[in-house]
Amino acid sequence: MRGLALASVVLNVVIIMTGSTVRLTESGLGCPSWPRCTGDSLVPVPGAGSSTLHMVIEFGNRLVALPVFAVALACLLVALRLGGRRQLVLLASLQTVGIVTQAVVGAVSVYAKLDPVPVATHFLLSMGVLATAMALYVRASEGDAPPRATVPPNVRLLRRALAGTVFVLLLVGTLVTGSGPHAGDASAPRLPFSIEAVARVHSAAAWLTVALTVALLVALRSTNAPGTVRRRTYELLALELAQGAIGYIQYLAGIPEPLVAVHILGATLTWIATLRVLFAMRERGQAEATTTADADATPRRSVKELR
């Protein structure tokens, strides 16, 4: 279960990056139809109206969705097979449903000619699926005891504020993307905002995120929080500072595609680091080693016996 959940996390990062490659190479409409690449062909066909390279890049991103879905489905089947851990089944189900929803939003994005609203929704859904995969990985590594906080209430309040601010940072980042030059296709519509204005809002959200992370570190040190929480918070702060540096450099350099790709990877890793900090602030005991054979050998008791 843990291995599959970790594979799901990795694959979700991969498909986020292949999706960014589609946008940054203006291949978003390389396959103008969905689920077929063209109106009469499932796969790219040279001379079908789009650049062959653009068709291959867009179709390649669609192919990556197959192992992402296959691993998510395997997570669900293993969770059901193990039995007795409803949260694993719930998280695996949410992950699978999220990926299917992603496919639908992806189709809407294509038919809407890369309108920035469904494109932004597509990215934010990816972050939601990634969060579910991370939660599944963490829960598979834990026991089923009631959650016990490892930090005091004031620190948990900072944790919620930080998580909310990071999500707002991602959201505003999609507005920058929707207002900027990298639309995925030269003919794609843009949001009616000045990129300079939304970039300033994005920068303000980034500085607020850094300030909250520093405040969280101070609170963790003053309350003698567990070392694991502090280490993960330092990791998050390092990623935030690196992201900020890349963001300013790419803006001053005219938003070149390679730096934008690095910035998207950094945003994804920052989201993962934020989730790691959140999960480190509570514990539920150690997970017991359970095999499918053990699950099958568990005696089935009647409702009367359970009562």
| Residue-wise pLDDT tens digits, 168-195 | 999 999 999 999 888 888 888 999 999 8
Q: How many residues does the chain have?
A: 307
pLDDT score, position 292:
47
pLDDT-based confidence at residue 265 (cuts at 50, 70, 90): very high
Closest CA to 106 of 25, 34, 24, 13: 34
pLDDT tens-digit map of 129-172 = 999 999 999 999 888 788 888 899 889 899 899 999 999 999 99
Q: How far is CA 116 from the centre of its chain?
A: 18
Q: What is the pLDDT of residues 90-107, one digit of tens each?
A: 999 999 999 999 999 999
CATH 1.20.120 domain extents, the chain? 145-286
| Distance (Å) of CA 147 to CA 150, 224, 279, 280, 288 | 9, 20, 10, 11, 16
pLDDT at 41: 83
As a whole number of angstroms, the distance between CA 277 and CA 273 comes to: 6
Task: Specify whether the CB–CB gap between 179 and 190 falls below 8 A.
Answer: yes
Going by pLDDT thresholds of 50, 70 and 90, the confidence category of residue 89 is very high
Q: How confident is the model at residue 298 (pLDDT cuts 50, 70, 90)?
A: very low
CA angle 277, 279, 281 (to 5 degrees): 75
4-18, 64-78, 146-160, 275-289: least confident range: 275-289
* Percent residues over pLDDT 90 in the chain: 65
User: Is the pLDDT at 216 greater than 50, yes or no?
Assistant: yes
Residues 262, 246 contacting (CB under 8 angstroms):
yes
**Can you tell me which residue has the tokens 């507005």?**
175
pLDDT band at 301 (very low <50, low <70, confident <90, very high): very low
Q: What is the pLDDT of residue 156?
A: 87
Does 1.10.3470 match the CATH number of domain 145-286? no
Residues pairing with 257 in the sheet: none
Question: How high does pLDDT run on average in the chain?
Answer: 88
Rounded Cα gap, residues 104 and 109, in angstroms: 9
Short-list 243, 248, 230, 231, CA closest to 270: 243
Summarize the confidence of residues 70-77 as an average pLDDT: 96
Q: Tell me which residue of 132, 142, 147, 148 sits closest to 90, measured CA to CA.
A: 132
How far is it, in rounded angstroms, from Cα 109 to Cα 176?
Answer: 18
Per-residue confidence (pLDDT) for residue 34, from 0 to 100: 85
- Phi (first) and psi of residue 38, to 5 degrees: -125, 180
pLDDT of residue 93: 96
Rounded to 5°, angle at Cα 167 from 287 and 89: 30
Alpha helices in the chain (DSSP H): 2-24, 52-82, 86-111, 116-140, 153-179, 195-222, 227-252, 257-279, 292-297, 303-306
The string of pLDDT tens digits covering residues 27-39 is 988 888 888 888 7
pTM over 0.75: yes
Per-residue pLDDT band for 47 (boundaries 50, 70, 90) equals low
Give pLDDT, residue 143: 82
Which comes out higher in pLDDT, residue 32 or 304? Answer: 32
Percent of the chain whose predicted confidence (pLDDT) is above 70: 92
pLDDT of residue 288: 64
Contact 17, 261 (CB under 8 A): yes
CB 95 within 8 Å of CB 5: no
Report pLDDT for 40. 80
- Joined together, the tokens standing for residue 89 give 């089944």
Could you tell me which of 268, 294, 218 has the C-alpha nearest to residue 17? 268
Comparing CA positions, the residue from 114, 80, 283 lying closest to residue 187 is 114
In which band, very low, low, confident or very high, does the pLDDT at 251 lie, cut at 50, 70 and 90? confident
Which region among 78-82, 207-211, 272-276 has the lowest average model confidence (pLDDT)?
78-82
CA distance 169 to 127: 12
Report long-range pairs for 44-50 (Cβ below 8 Å, ≥24 apart): none
Instruction: Kindly state the average pLDDT of the residues 52-81.
Output: 93
